[in-house]
Structure 1
Amino acid sequence: MASTSEVEQTPVANGTESIPSIELFIKASQIAREEKGPCPISQQWILAFYILAEKKLTELYLTTVNPDVPPDSYLALNVSRRLPVANVTKGPDPRLKTSNAADAPDPADTNDEIEQLMDAFRCPNLALPKDSRDEANAEKAICDLYKNFSLMLKTDNRAPLINSLRKIDNFLGLRPCRYLLSDELTYADCQLMPKLHHVRLAGEFYRGFTIPEELRHLQDYLVGMYTACDAFRTSCPADRDILHLYYDKVPRSLLSSIRAQPTLMDNRRTLLGESGGTGGIPY
């Protein structure tokens, strides 16, 4: 049965009628259908709207969707089963330029549309590259990380991935702050953190790859991400889901050489050595 996560009952911020409520629909885990799936893009949007909720600009509700049995609230959007999807469920839609509710925009069901919805809040932490040179430079520094991570999983060619990580380390070294651009999360962090988490977990499991210790600025970033960033910690899916996401994306010959296969039963989240069940995490 498709489900709505705990955040639906307890929004991130207790707002008023003057702020919009946003329901973010993401694909559920294929293993435990009531839990978050491992898609890094979905986690990116959880992080972005979490920031808006922390700033009391919106209330955030998170709904996990089992594509085989989607909830009625998702089917009513008529989005052709696309995920993730963000929908303003009540309160003023920040994209609406008139007072006529009939002009309300459709649900945001593409990454570009979700980005436009996010941008409509005009939150400085979530500035887009078109409005912020710093954001543009940060996104340039991280843009090829996931592509080179995927290449490494398929071919074991580590050089491009290490180059991507070194580029991020160099960028971090130029800025005396906790995250990419600030001591607070920005949109670039929302894009980077889920991908780094996948690199660390799946890279080590399938290829024995670890992020080089000599990348000290990046290592410090990881420590802050895992130990001091509640938004990231609570948005993480279970390790098993991340590992299974890549199970069909690595060579069959590699799978036969891996001693331990990813288990369907383990719902831990490993955050720099810390493990715990995914149930009951408050948003």
Structure 2
Amino acid sequence: MSEEEVQPQETTEETNGAENGAVPEIELIIKASTIDGRRKGACLFCQEYFMDLYLLAELKTVSLKVTTVDMLKPPPDFRSNFEATPPPILIDNGLAVLENDKIERHIMKNIPGGHNLFIQDKETATRTENVYSKFKLMLLKRDDPSKNVVLSYLRKVNEHLETRGTRFLTGDTMCCFDCELMPKLQHIRVAGRYFVDFEIPEELEHLWRYMYHMYQLDAFTQSCPADQDIINHYKQQQGTRMKKHEELETPTFTTSIPATIRP
């Protein structure tokens, strides 16, 4: 297992209860890279909860430690503690929370400041749902109709951002919807280009501007897997073997936006 003490570079706000260092210590166990078994893997849920908790660590309501586990060769202590349960796993004061919906509920109800991340917004939920499932279908079908469906869903997100006129999906501060959507957009961008030559059109300028703002945030960049890990994630799903040279590649991270887009 590889451990990393997460120390946000920038604190945006002090919160009540954080004085005297009396903040809960939270550990998040995430899947490791399927390439080197150490760096962050390309699990969407792992990145989503990493982002949630990173934002809370920035506010100094929690102290966060992130541990990566190679699920191809899990260490004995992991197997004895969690058997075959795959990450993400959240550990709060010795309590292990194992299922995704329970992790989300625990962050919302039991971790200081967590309730502020989980806001209710039916319109945002409607506009962002199904984007990822349509992307998975595009990877399977690899045809123009499936690409057009993904485009139509991305346009809905673009229109939503245009209507709201805010930096993020529900306002000018991040919330749970952003932590859920942005990792999916990164997968669509990186894996879509690699497998089916799919590119997010430059005309979706509000979506690109949104991605630009996300790329500026430590919560995203610190939790984001390498391009190679995102690609290998889908190769494994398709039963395609990784080539030797891919194991030796220096990790790259796509975080640029088109030159035509003004942030």
TM-score by length of 2: 0.83
Q: Which residue of 1 aligns with 2:189?
A: 200
Q: Report the aligned-residue RMSD.
A: 2.7
Q: Which residue of 2 aligns with 1:93?
A: none
115, 130, 138: which one pairs with 2:104? Answer: 115
| Residue 263 (str. 1) matches residue 246 (str. 2) | yes
31, 41, 45: which one pairs with 2:35? Answer: 31
Gaps of 5+ in 2: 12-17, 258-263
Query: Taking structure 1 as reference, are residues 32 and 89 closer, same or farther at Cα in structure 2, changes over 3 Å only?
Result: farther
Deviation at 1:174, TM superposition (A): 1.3
Structure 2: distance between partners of 1:112 and 1:251: 28
Structure 2: distance between partners of 1:143 and 1:86: 25
202, 227, 230: which one pairs with 2:218? Answer: 230
Q: Percent sequence identity over matched residues?
A: 33
Query: Taking structure 1 as reference, are residues 19 and 76 closer, same or farther at Cα in structure 2, changes over 3 Å only?
Result: farther
Q: Which residue of 1 aligns with 2:230?
A: 242
Cα distance per residue 1:184-219 (max 9 Å; x no partner): 211000000100000000101111111111112111
3, 6, 22: which one pairs with 1:18? Answer: 22
Q: Is the 8 A contact 1:21 1:58 kept in 2?
A: yes
Query: Taking structure 1 as reference, are residues 108 and 79 closer, same or farther at Cα in structure 2, changes over 3 Å only?
Result: farther
Structure 2: distance between partners of 1:45 and 1:268: 22
Q: Is the 8 A contact 1:142 1:168 kept in 2?
A: yes
Cα distance per residue 1:1-50 (max 9 Å; x no partner): x322x32xx54499655321110001111111110111111111100111
Q: Which residue of 2 aligns with 1:102?
A: none
Query: Taking structure 1 as reference, are residues 61 and 251 closer, same or farther at Cα in structure 2, changes over 3 Å only?
Result: closer
Q: Residue type matched to 1:24 in 2?
A: L
Q: Residue type matched to 1:200 in 2?
A: R
Query: Taking structure 1 as reference, are residues 162 and 244 closer, same or farther at Cα in structure 2, changes over 3 Å only?
Result: same
Q: Which residue of 1 aligns with 2:174?
A: 185
Q: Is the 8 A contact 1:12 1:59 kept in 2?
A: no
Q: Residue type matched to 1:223 in 2?
A: Y
Q: Which residue of 2 aligns with 1:127?
A: 118
Query: Taking structure 1 as reference, are residues 174 and 207 closer, same or farther at Cα in structure 2, changes over 3 Å only?
Result: same
Q: Which residue of 1 aligns with 2:261?
A: none
Q: Is the 8 A contact 1:27 1:67 kept in 2?
A: yes
**Count of residues in correspondence between the two structures:** 243
Report matched runs for 1:129-208 at 5 Å: 132=120, 134=121, 136-156=122-142, 157-208=146-197
Query: Taking structure 1 as reference, are residues 139 and 265 closer, same or farther at Cα in structure 2, changes over 3 Å only?
Result: farther
Deviation at 1:248, TM superposition (A): 4.2
Deviation at 1:138, TM superposition (A): 1.5
Structure 2: distance between partners of 1:212 and 1:240: 22
| Residue 89 (str. 1) matches residue 106 (str. 2) | no
Deviation at 1:222, TM superposition (A): 1.5
Structure 2: distance between partners of 1:262 and 1:221: 34
Q: Is the 8 A contact 1:153 1:249 kept in 2?
A: no
Q: Which residue of 1 aligns with 2:70?
A: 66
Cα distance per residue 1:126-165 (max 9 Å; x no partner): 124xxx2x2x322221110110001111112212211110
Deviation at 1:251, TM superposition (A): 9.4
Gaps of 5+ in 1: 91-105, 274-283
Q: Is the 8 A contact 1:3 1:71 kept in 2?
A: no
Query: Taking structure 1 as reference, are residues 251 and 59 closer, same or farther at Cα in structure 2, changes over 3 Å only?
Result: closer
Q: What SS is found at the alignment partner of 2:192?
A: helix
Query: Taking structure 1 as reference, are residues 178 and 79 closer, same or farther at Cα in structure 2, changes over 3 Å only?
Result: farther
Q: Is the 8 A contact 2:107 2:115 kept in 1?
A: no
Structure 1: distance between partners of 2:62 and 2:81: 20
TM-score by length of 1: 0.77
Structure 2: distance between partners of 1:183 and 1:79: 41
Q: What SS is found at the alignment partner of 2:90?
A: strand
